Structure 1
Amino acid sequence: MLPTANPAAAQHSSLHPAFYIIIWITLSSGVIVFNKWILHTAGFAYPLFLTTWHLIFATVMTQLMARYTKMLDSRHNVPMTRAVYFQAIVPIGVFFSLSLICGNLAYLHLSVSFVQMLKATNSVATLLATWVLGVAPVRIDVLAKVSIIVIGVIVASIGEINFSLIGFIYQFSATIFESVRLVMVQRLLSSADFKMDPLVSLYYFAPACMVMNTVATLFFEVPRMSVEDLRSIGLSTLLANASVAFALNVAVVFLVSKTSALVMTLSGVLKDIILVIASLVIFHDPVTMTQVVGYTVALLGLLYYKLGDKVFADVAIKVRQHIPKSSTRRWTLPATLLVIVLIFLLWYSGTASTYFEELNVGH
């Protein structure tokens, strides 16, 4: 997702921010679970084709929305020229495509739960990319903070039962490509003239990504695809999948205008945990206690890095004093849910581990 230009957009809606958070979590989790089901469970092992299909759908929908709605009118404020498009948008699109492709390839070899654990390092990779590309100065204190995330992910990786090196490499590559893309976007958006919300960004990036992915799909996947493959998955399934993916981009536009950075951070962590639990329930992915401990450490490190010392101190003070302020209530709900799902994850991982041990003994 790309940053929005209007985080302080009008907040006159009668709907509670929690509504937008729930919609975003549902769609974000739904896209990942849906993709995993298509690529792995349904046996449609064509990640390039699926990514290209999403981009074709997004290109068509953003063009229609630009023509018949006002949701993309802010694009008129962006001084997009042919030179800017090919020098800035296309390179970003290349990394965007590579990130999507490698991310989907990872789901062919790794469980949803383990992929989510690995994704905890996205912030670390982005931070390192800003240092390598000279966007931000190197800070040892920040490096110490993010090292907590790395340690947690390493522990979670050690505890993975069905570890796949090729899947790990795909996900690691997706993380690298995504971090470089985000830094390039940061550079582009550093100019006030190029502020774009996620939908406008998709309007510009989707066509370029679509062309690149189409070429790759024609070379690597189409030769081994058959009509039966498409018939088995069904056009209705592909349409539903692309619709959910596109709806997520629309939901992000509303989410960033209705919530604060703190709430979005907590909601993002909550979403990741829900995805791990969904993977356990839907795909019966085994999660060990070692992974739970490692992932918990990584998530706490992620929160510490994103929220900072001051916010953590403020939260601790408010909890001790039991101050019922509106600002406190905003993060109380997601934080409470975070604790509940962590407890459930610990309990479920224990029962799941026992189940798989008994299953192995039975065989």
Structure 2
Amino acid sequence: MPETENGDSGVTIDADTVLDVMARVRASQSVNIARAVILSIAWACTSSALIFLNNHLLREHGFSYPMMLCSMGMTSSWLISFVCITTGRVKRKHAGLITRRWYARHILPIGCLGAASLGFGNYVYLYLSVSFIQMLKSAVPAVTMAVMYTAGLERLHGTTLTGVAVVTIGTFIAAYGEVKFSAIGMMMMMTSEFAEAIRMAFYQYVLGNLKFDLIEGLYVMAPASLAFLGLGIVALELNQFVQERGWEIIAAAPHYFLAAAFMGFGVNILTLGVIKATSGLTFKVMGQAKNAAVILLAVMLFGNPVTTVQLIGYAMSLFGFFIYQRGKMQQEAVKRLSDGDKFHGK
């Protein structure tokens, strides 16, 4: 058996052992890559299927109660997280931190903003086509940066500003080219995006580095979102639901609603899995690719009209998105370099 000796330490190294370790490392890398690919495909398929299912239930199936529909997914997510926590399968890391006063000051505002983002995001499907909604989602970086900068949580950077400007122009062009444009739908879409951006900013500002695992996060935050979704349902949907006997629509096809409820939880779990298996940046890029695939499917399967002007605007928005992400990477690289200099006392 071949051996080598380390001259500095006098330690004998078995060459076969080294080769065995290298083989195990390569096998582990292959498993990780395969896991990342499987999770990514599962997330993209589940997320896309949920979009089309919600659109079908809200428009074709006649269940025109968007907040009630998204509350079903939130309810299933909370119930599953509740079972995981109470049975001890998932440990609560921050149980000692949460008091009634702390919950009211920190979690309730996040729950309110989350409910607004989900509720109005679902209402959009009553007014705009699936393909156009996916195009508008490319404007998220512009909205997020505007909110983060206003809150003092992000600095302006030339490349990110350029990316946001290109995204904004592209979104306006795509909106101009929309055949079935709805001002109400557009307003609700922007309300949803701003609510989500403000929620992210509030979370970062108030909770700082406090990180919840997905199950614990759902267990803590889902009740707050459900409470505000309940208020929205009472204010906007309950009277119509009772008058139109909406429960009969659910009873006619309960499997659709059960699927929508549990797919919402599935998307949450798979999102966390993809981010852990890849990175946040990779997930964002895959999100844009998935949106493009949903647009293509909406055109091919459901006949959603897409004009040339819209495609030009959407392509411009995608280009701006990648410029924006490049700028974010540059900012993070500069920050890491600065932190490294401080650590070494330079």
Under TM normalisation by the shorter chain, which class is it?
Answer: 0.7 to 0.9
Contact 1:29–1:271 (CA under 8 A) maintained in structure 2: yes
- Alignment partners' CA distance in 2, 1:14 and 1:274: 22
CA shift for structure 1 position 175: 0.9
Q: 1:246 aligns with which of 249, 254, 265?
A: 265
**Match in the other structure for 2:131:** 113
Q: 1:291 aligns with which of 305, 310, 333?
A: 310
Q: 1:136 aligns with which of 145, 151, 154?
A: 154
CA shift for structure 1 position 143: 1.9
Q: 1:25 aligns with which of 44, 52, 58?
A: 44
Contact 1:40–1:108 (CA under 8 A) maintained in structure 2: yes
**Match in the other structure for 1:187:** 205
SS at the partner of 1:16?
Answer: helix
Q: 1:204 aligns with which of 197, 220, 245?
A: 220
**Match in the other structure for 2:178:** 160
1:252-306 deviation digits (Å, cap 9, x = unpaired): 2211111134432321111111111122133211001111111011011101211
- Unaligned runs of 5+ residues in structure 1 are 1-9, 312-363
Q: How many residues align?
A: 299
1:105-143 deviation digits (Å, cap 9, x = unpaired): 111000011111111111111111011112223445532
Q: 1:273 aligns with which of 281, 287, 292?
A: 292
Contact 1:265–1:303 (CA under 8 A) maintained in structure 2: no
- Alignment partners' CA distance in 2, 1:143 and 1:304: 9
Q: Where does 1:1-363 land on structure 2 (aligned, <5 Å)?
A: 15-68=34-87, 70=89, 72-73=90-91, 75-76=93-94, 79-191=97-209, 194-226=210-242, 228-233=245-250, 234-308=253-327
CA shift for structure 1 position 180: 0.3
Relative to the length of structure 2, the TM-score reads 0.80
CA shift for structure 1 position 74: 5.0
CA separation of 1:124 and 1:309: change in aligned 2, threshold 3 A: closer
CA separation of 1:196 and 1:303: change in aligned 2, threshold 3 A: same
CA shift for structure 1 position 14: 7.8
Q: Higher Cα Rg: structure 1 or 2?
A: 2
Q: Alignment identity in percent?
A: 28
CA shift for structure 1 position 42: 1.0
SS at the partner of 2:126?
Answer: coil
| Deviant stretches of 4+, over 6 Å | none
CA shift for structure 1 position 13: 5.3
CA shift for structure 1 position 160: 0.5
Contact 2:85–2:92 (CA under 8 A) maintained in structure 1: no
- Alignment partners' CA distance in 2, 1:51 and 1:195: 24
Relative to the length of structure 1, the TM-score reads 0.77
1:134-163 deviation digits (Å, cap 9, x = unpaired): 222344553222101111111111110010
Cα RMSD after superposing both structures: 2.3
Contact 1:262–1:307 (CA under 8 A) maintained in structure 2: no
Contact 1:197–1:253 (CA under 8 A) maintained in structure 2: no
- Alignment partners' CA distance in 2, 1:15 and 1:189: 34
1:222-264 deviation digits (Å, cap 9, x = unpaired): 2121474322343222111101111111112211111134432
**Match in the other structure for 1:356:** none
Q: Which amino acid in the other structure matches residue 137 of structure 1?
A: R
